Structure 1
Amino acid sequence: MFEHNIQLNRDKVSNLINWGHWFAFFNGLLAIIIGSRYISTLGEPDTWLGWSYLILYTVGQFSFLAFIIYLIFLFPVTLLAPYSRVLRGFAATIATIGQCILLYDTVIFSDYGLHLSPFAFELAWTDINSLLSGGKLLLAPVLFLAFQLTLANYLWKRIVTLQKCNFGHKVLIIIGICFVSSHLSHIWADATNVTDITRYDDAYPLSYPATAKTFMERHGIERQDSTKLNSHNDGSLTYPLTFPQCKSDIKPNILFISVNSFRKDMVNSDTMPFLYQYSQESLHFTHHFSGGTSFNSGMFSMLYAIQGSYSSAIELSYTSPVITQQLKKSGYDLELFSDQTNIDYSSPKAMFNDFKLNLTPKPQNSAMTDVAVVKSFKNWRKKQIKPWLALVTLNATATYDTPVGFLGIKTIKAPIEYQPEQRVLFNQYRQAAHFTDQQLKVLISNIDKDTIVIVTGAKGAAFDINSNNTKSSLTPENVNVPLIIHGLQLGARKVNYRTSHYGIAPTLMSLILGCTNPSTDYSSGQSLMSPDSQDWIYVSDQKAFAIYQNDEVTVIDNHGKYRIYNPDLTQRLKKKLSAPELIEVIREGRRLYQ
C-alpha cells in the first residue's frame, strides 16, 4: 500500500512535469506571436536567407526563454508542492507577468529602440501616457491571465492524451535544431559580415547570438567585407527619406575649411589676427557645436548632417552625403585636400566618395603637411573652369605643431584654473593656432569675391591630461567650435543663438542649391539662418553621448548610465533625467530607420 502511494505520487509529479513542458511550449508560441512586433519595428528581411535565419532565430529564442522561465519558476514548485491547482494558478500568474513584460518591451523597443532595463524603465515611466495611449495595453494583464488559466486547465485535462501521442521529444528536437542552427548561422554571418542576418542582433530581449570574432582574432583571420555584395540592398536605413528637389541659377564656388581641434576662444586679435578680422566682415556664429568629439565624428555631423548614432549603419558604407551628391549632380567639381591619415580612418567609407582625393602623406610634423595641403589647393584652383567645392582640412592645432624656426607670438599667462601641464599645452596650442591663422590667410586671400568661404572646426580642443575620461571628452571645449561664413551677401554680424554642424548642409542646400524639401528629409538640423526649434544638441563620443541643453548637460554611456552636469560640465547636478528631451533624441536617432 505504501509503495502504491509512492508510485501514485511519482506519476502525479511526472504528469505535472509533462504538463509544465507543454505549458511552456504553448507560451513559447504565444511569445513568438507577440515578438513579431519587433520585426515590424526593424523591418522584414529582403532575402530568403534573412527570412530563413529569422525563422530559426525566432523559434529558438522564444522557446528557449519560455523553457528558462519554466525551469526557474515552475519546476521547483512542481517538486516542492505537487498540487495541480496550486501549480496551475501559479504558472498562469508567472506566464501572465512574463507575457506582459514581453508586450511592454515591444512597445518600448518600437518607440526608443531599447529593451527593458532600469534606464529604459525610468525613461518609459516619464512617458507612460504616450506609451499607453488608447488604454488597450492596460487590459493586457487581464486578458493574458484569462488566457493562461484557460490554457493551464485545458492542458491538464488532456495531459494523458498528449503523453500517448508521444511526439513531445520530436518537438524538443525541432526547437533544439532551430536554436543551435540560428547560432551557427550567426557565427558564419558575423565572420562574413552578412548584414541580412547581423542586423537582427539586438532584435529580441536577452538575446546574445554567438559570434566568430574571438576565434578569428585569435587565429589572425580577417573578416570578409560583403559591403560590395550588398551594395544594392536598401536595408532598413532610408537616407534621405525623400531626395531633394533643387533648382538654382547661381553656382558660386565654395571653399570649405575644416580645422581639426579648433578652439573658439582662439579667434582673437592676438592669436589669430587674420581670422578675427575676417570674422568681423562675415557671419560669425559664436555659439556653435560640433556633432562629435573626433575628426571623424565631427566631419560626419558636418557632411551627413545626421546624428552620430547613424554612422555605423551599413547603408552609409555606400551612400555618400546628400549635400555632396546634390552638388555633384549640379555640375560642381568636388576636391578634398587633406592629410592621408584622416581619410584612411574615415568612417563610413562613403563619406568622401563624391570628392576627388588630393591627399598629402603625413610627415613627422603636421604643420608641414598643412603647408603642402594649402599649396596643393592653390595649384588646383588655378586650373578650375567649372564651379567647385574644395574641402580643406588643417591639422596643426590637433598636434600642437609649428614648423622648425617658426616665429610665433609671445606667450601669455594661462587661466588661473589650469593645471601646470595644461598651462604648457595652452601656449603650445596658441603657437599652432597662430600658424594656422597664417595658412588661412594664404587660403582665403585672392579668392574670388563671389566665392563662399566657410571656416569651422571638425571638433574642439580641451587641454586635457586625462583623455580617457568620458566626461572630459564631451566638455564644451571639445565640442564648441568657431563657425564663420563669408559670402552670399549675408552681411557681417555676430549670431549668438546656438547652432550646430547639423545645420551646415541644410543651409547650403537651401541658399545655394535652391532645395525646397524640408531639411528633416536628410538632416537632424535646420538652416543656420534662424534659431533651431530644438532646445537640445546631440554630441557623440565613441564611449558615450551628451545632450546639451540650455541649463544642463546629460552624459549617457553605452551601458545606459547617466549623469547630469552644469553647462560647463564642472559640477554634477542632483537631478533626475530630463526624459522629454532624451525621448526626442532617441526618436531622432531612429527616424531614418523604416
Structure 2
Amino acid sequence: MIANLFHRWRWLGAWTLANLLLAWLIASRYVPYIDPDGAAQWGYLSLVFLGHLALLVWLGALPLFLLATVIRGRWLWLVTTLWASTLQLLLLLDTFVYAQYRFHLSGFILDLLLNAGGDVFSFSWVAWSLAIGGVLGMLVIQGVMGLWLKRRFLSRPVWSTLAVCVTALLGVHGWHAWADAHYDREITGMTRHVPVFYPATAKRFFVKQGWVDAQAVRDAVDLEAAPGGEQDLSYPLAPLSCTTSASPDNLMLVVLDTLRHDMLNPQVMPNLHRYANQPGWIKASEHISGGNSTKAGVFSLFYGLPVTYWDAFTAGQTPPVLMETLETQDYRFEVLSSATLVSPAFDRNVFAGLEEVSLEPAQGDPWQRDRQITDDWLAWTREESQNPGDRPFFSFLFYDAVHGYSHPPDFPRFTPYWESVNHIALGPDFDPEPYWNRYRTAARYVDQQLGRVLDDLDARGLLEDTAVVITSDHGESFNEHGKNYWGHGSNYTPEQVQVPLVMHLPGHPGGEITRRSHHADIAPTLLEEVLGCESAPERYSLGHNLLEPKAKREWMLSGSYMGYGILMPDYQVAVHPAGTFEVYDYRMNELDEVRPDPVASTQVLQALSRFYR
C-alpha cells in the first residue's frame, strides 16, 4: 500500500513538473510588460520564474498529494485533470485581465464575471467561442499529459527541480530586499507585474545592522523618476497649468499618526479644537482616510490615489503632482518626521527627488521624538524670522506618539489607565477603557505639541499667509462592535478610517464641510486654492476640490497593508490580496446576501487602472 502511494506521488510530481513548464509558458505573457533590459534584469526575472512561479505551482499541487492518500486510479486522474486545468486557466485569465487593467485577477473581478455578467463586461460570440475552446483545450492537454506520465518515472528530475526552485525562491527575495535598500528601481520595478508576488524588503533591518547607510545610499543615487516608471504610468494624464502668485502662501501639512475622528474634542485635543472652531478655519464632519494603515493613508493624502498604485509609483520613484508643483514654484522644504521615512518607503515616492529630505528620524521614545521635531520646527521658524527670504516654504510634520500610546511619565493621564500594555491580553471580553484612556492621553500630549506649533505660527503672524492642513493617516479600533478588532489595518469601519481634517486657507472665511470628504480631495484643494493650478483633478487624482460643491459620492476607496476596501454608503467590500473579498456592514457584520453594485464596481475598476499605460 505504501509502495502504491509513493508511486502515485511520483506520478503527481512528474505532472507538477510538466505543469510548471506550462505555467512558465503562460506567464511569458507578462514579459512584454516587465520589459527586462540587461543581464541583471533578465537574471532576476529568471529567478522569479524559477522561484516564485514554481512556488505557486507546487502550492497548487499540494492538495492533490493529500488526496492521493484516499483516492486512486482514474478518479485521481480525473480530479487532477480538472484541478490543474482550473489553475492554469486562472493564470491564463489573469494575463488577459492584466493586459486590460494592469492589475491582477481577484475574487472581486471573478464575482463580477459570474454574477454581474453583461452589466460590467461585454463579450462577443468570438470571445465566448475562444473561451470555450480554451477550456476544452486545457482539459485535453491535462488529461493526455496525465495519461502519458503514468507510463514514465521522473522522480529524480522532479526532486532536483524542486531543490533548484527553492534555492531560486530564497535568492529572488534576498535580491529584492537588497535592491530595495539600495534604490535599485530596475529590479524593484519588475515585481508588480507578477501575480501574487510580495517580495521581501528589509531596509530597516539592514540599517539597524549597519549594513546599509540609508542616507548615504539615497544621496548617492539619481533621485529623478526612472524611465521604467514612465513606461508603467500615465501620470498625470496631462500637464497642469498653474499660475504662480506674486506673493505665494506657505503650506504646512501635519499628520498625526493613528488619530481617529472622535479625538477632536476639547477634553482630548483642546488646542486643535480651539483652532478648528475659530473663524478662518475649516473642519470636516465626516472625513475618510485613503487607508487603515500609514502606508495607504499617507500615500492617498499626497497623491489623491488608492494605495494599489504604490508599487508602480515607488518603483519609478515618481513623486506626486503636488510635490512636483511645489518644486516648480521654488518652495523651500522642511520635512520633520518622528517616524522613519524608509519603511514604508515614502522616500521613494512621496519625497522622491527632494535632496534635502533627511531619512534620519528623531531619537528616543515616540513622545520624545514628537517633542524633538516640534523643537526643531520652532528653531527653524525662529531662524527664518531672523533671515527672511522671498521663497515660500512647504513643511511636513509627522507625529508618532499616538501610534505608540506614548507620553512623558509625568504627563496628566485619563483614568483608569493601563500601565503596561500587553497585547496578548486583548480579547473579546477585555475591558477597553484603560487602554482607551492611554490612547487618549497620548493624543492629548500630541495636541500639546501641535498647540506649540500653531501658537508660534499665530504669534509670528505667519498664519496670514500659510495654508495649514492637519489630519491623520488612519484611526484605531478598541473592540467597539464586539468582534475583537483592536488597533488598525484590519477593516474599514469609521473607527479605523474616519479621521479629523482641520484646514486653514488664507483668505477663506472657514466653516464646516458637512458632506463626506476623502484624503483624495486634499491635493486638488491645495493645488487649486494655494498653488494657482487649473481645476482638472481628474488628470492626477480620484478626488476634487473640497471647496466646490459636488454630488454625493456613491463609493470611496481605502487601502490597507496589501488589500483595499470599497466603501459604499451602507456597506464595505474588503478585497484581500489573495483575491478573495467579503462584504460587511459598518459594525463588521458579514452580509452574505449582498453583492457589490455592478455600476460602482465598473467605476472602481476604471479608477484602479486609470493611470497605467
Q: TM over 0.5, yes or no?
A: yes
In structure 2, what residue type is equivalent to 1:304?
Answer: Y
> Which of 542, 551, 564 is residue 545 of structure 1 equivalent to?
564
Change (3 A) 1:111 1:496: farther
> Which of 388, 394, 398 is residue 392 of structure 2 equivalent to?
388
Task: Answer yes or no: is 1:349 the counterpart of 2:347.
Answer: yes
Matched with 1:592 is: 611
> Which of 545, 550, 555 is residue 536 of structure 1 equivalent to?
555
Matched with 2:262 is: 265
CA apart distance, 1:229: 7.4
Task: Answer yes or no: is 1:234 the counterpart of 2:234.
Answer: no
Matched with 2:130 is: 140
CA apart distance, 1:450: 4.5
CA apart distance, 1:589: 3.6
Deviation per CA, 1:336-374: give whole Å up to 9, x if none: 2x2453446452323334374588834454463354144
In structure 2, what residue type is equivalent to 1:125?
Answer: L
Give, in whole Å, the separation in 1 of the partners of 2:260 and 2:138: 63
Deviation per CA, 1:91-123: give whole Å up to 9, x if none: 999998777555434334445666667565334
> Which of 368, 371, 379 is residue 368 of structure 1 equivalent to?
371
Task: Answer yes or no: is 1:45 the counterpart of 2:54.
Answer: no
Q: For 1:181-580, what aligned pairs fall within 5 Å after superposition?
A: 186=172, 189-190=175-176, 192-193=178-179, 232-235=226-229, 236-238=231-233, 240-242=235-237, 244-250=239-245, 251-261=247-257, 262-268=259-265, 271-272=270-271, 273-278=273-278, 280-313=279-312, 315-316=314-315, 318-336=317-335, 338-343=336-341, 345=343, 347-350=345-348, 351-352=350-351, 353-354=353-354, 356-357=356-357, 361-364=362-365, 365-366=367-368, 368-369=371-372, 371-382=374-385, 383-393=387-397, 395=399, 398=402, 399=404, 419-423=433-437, 425-426=439-440, 429-430=443-444, 432-433=446-447, 436-448=450-462, 450-462=464-476, 464=478, 474-516=492-534, 518-530=536-548, 531=550, 534-542=553-561, 544-567=563-586, 569=587, 571-578=589-596, 580=598
In structure 2, what residue type is equivalent to 1:318?
Answer: Q
Contact 1:288 1:498 in 2 (8 A): yes
Contact 1:320 1:354 in 2 (8 A): no
- Scaled by the length of structure 1, the TM-score of the pair is 0.69
**Amino-acid identity (%):** 20
Contact 2:478 2:487 in 1 (8 A): no
RMSD: 5.8
Q: Secondary structure at the match of 1:508?
A: helix
Contact 1:260 1:295 in 2 (8 A): no
Structure index of larger Rg: 1
Give, in whole Å, the separation in 2 of the partners of 1:477 and 1:183: 39
Q: Secondary structure at the match of 1:444?
A: helix
Give, in whole Å, the separation in 1 of the partners of 2:343 and 2:529: 32
Unaligned runs of 5+ in 2: 1-13, 66-71, 149-156, 418-430
- Scaled by the length of structure 2, the TM-score of the pair is 0.68
Matched with 1:11 is: none
Unaligned runs of 5+ in 1: 1-20, 74-78, 82-86, 160-170
CA apart distance, 1:32: 7.0
Deviation per CA, 1:267-292: give whole Å up to 9, x if none: 445533531333x4333222212223
CA apart distance, 1:126: 3.3
Aligned residues, how many?
552
CA apart distance, 1:327: 1.3
In structure 2, what residue type is equivalent to 1:305?
Answer: G
Q: Secondary structure at the match of 1:234?
A: helix
Q: Secondary structure at the match of 1:240?
A: coil
Q: Secondary structure at the match of 2:455?
A: helix
In structure 2, what residue type is equivalent to 1:558?
Answer: P
Q: Secondary structure at the match of 2:285?
A: strand
Give, in whole Å, the separation in 2 of the partners of 1:143 and 1:316: 38
Q: Secondary structure at the match of 1:311?
A: helix
Contact 1:456 1:484 in 2 (8 A): yes
Give, in whole Å, the separation in 1 of the partners of 2:284 and 2:472: 15
Give, in whole Å, the separation in 2 of the partners of 1:404 and 1:205: 48
Give, in whole Å, the separation in 1 of the partners of 2:163 and 2:436: 60
Contact 1:333 1:386 in 2 (8 A): no
Give, in whole Å, the separation in 1 of the partners of 2:569 and 2:99: 29
